[in-house]
Amino acid sequence: MNLILLFGGILIVSVLSCKITNKTGLPVLVGFILIGAFIGRKFDFLDVANAERICNYALLFIIFAGGFQTDFKRSKPVLTVSATLATVGVVLTAAAVAAFAYFVLNIGLYAAILLGAVMSPTDAASVFSVLSSKKLNLKNNLGQVLEMESGSNDPLAYMLTIVFLAIATGESVNVPLLLVMQILIGASIGFAAGMLGRRMINKLNLEIDGIYSVLICGIAMFIYGLTGLLHGNGFLAVYIGGIVLGSGKIVHKTFLSKTCGSVSMLMQIVLFIVLGILWIPSSFVSVLISGLLFAVFLIFIIRPSVVFLLMKPFGYKLKEISLVSWAGFRGASSIVFSTYLLAAKLAYAEYIFSVVFFVCLLSVILQGSFLAPLAKRLGLTDDSICE
């Protein structure tokens, strides 16, 4: 089949599916996953290694766009609580999930620890998509809390996954040194490249506006690639680089922000279609009971407990904590990280991938569908805010 025709048709159908999912109240991401699942049954052209690469590239643009579009002035008041959720929250979630998996699901220690690391972050792609597709404006900067948490917690979850995966596969690894290198190199390159990129954009004075879109995509790829080459955390680097670029004064900022939004949306489509291609629905049969137990524990016990523990000291009300707890979607990032286990060919990788996919799909459908009604019920929507 003509690949151009196939890919063009996939993109058109993906966009049209948004109409159906919006009418049914489902997040648009569900439609993309189902399209991917259908394609995967009809065409066998994607292996795990290539899927992992595509997902990483898509995720880097989504995270970069999230950083670039972060309204730093509005987000500054919630920077501390967001950072706390994105760091301490990730560690606490990983530990709680690992303990539940080991003692309740009765899986091996390494498998439980890796499941905890993989499932520890909330998902930037899902959060950004649901908030924008539902046109959900939240009071008290709660939208900024959710966006900054989900946009900045992937790097730490990625580091935990990489570290524990190295240990599980028998590699000799200096954990403290690896963590320090990941953080320092990623943060340094992200900040420096963001500052240089801002200066470059402002000094070029190009007559073709559209070329700036190409430039900013190139900057994002350069940051990720250079950071990976130096063994730093690429996701952390592109997020910081995006924030540095987006928070400063640059020419064509509004145009570039729209470009980032468009690229992010395209990457979300690509990401969830690829994940849908990897999904084997029949695999859910073997993990149905454990997956349901895990989902209930994660959504209704772990997430609310962690959020309450971390947000209450900042003076947030119970209804605000409840909304942030419910909006802790698990999604693409967790599934992408679980593909690392498949690529490493661990004995329990397929089981973990199936559990993660099941829980993430349930999370996006359940939590994403009821987020807007819950926010309105709690009186936390603000229709006076214009997009």
- Judge contact between 229 and 258, C-beta under 8 A: no
Helix (H, G, I), strand (E, B) or coil at 376: helix
User: b/e per residue, 330-358, with b = 16+ CB within 10 A?
Assistant: bbbbbbbbbbbbbeeebebbbbbbbbbbb
- Alpha-carbon torsion angle 25, 30, 34, 37, nearest 10: -170
Consecutive H or E run containing 203 = helix 175-204
Residue 269, CB-side half-sphere exposure with 13 Å CA sphere: 18
- Judge contact between 351 and 284, C-beta under 8 A: no
The token duo for 341 is 């286990």
pTM of the predicted model, to two decimals?
0.87
d(CA 385, CA 74): 12
The DSSP call for residue 78 is G
- Judge contact between 155 and 58, C-beta under 8 A: no
- Judge contact between 279 and 33, C-beta under 8 A: yes
Q: What is the DSSP string of 228-242?
A: HHTT--HHHHHHHHH
pLDDT tens digits, the chain, 387 residues: what are they? Answer: 577 888 899 899 998 988 887 777 777 788 888 898 888 877 766 778 888 889 889 989 988 998 898 777 777 788 899 999 999 999 999 999 999 999 999 999 999 999 999 999 998 777 877 777 667 788 888 888 998 898 888 888 998 999 899 889 888 777 788 888 888 999 999 999 999 999 999 998 887 778 899 999 999 999 999 999 998 989 889 989 999 999 888 988 888 988 998 898 899 889 889 888 888 888 888 899 999 999 999 999 999 999 999 999 999 999 999 999 999 999 888 999 999 999 888 999 999 999 999 999 999 889 988 988 999 999 998 765 544
- Judge contact between 330 and 359, C-beta under 8 A: yes
Phi, psi of 121 (to 5 degrees): -90, 150
The DSSP call for residue 314 is G
d(CA 262, CA 66): 12
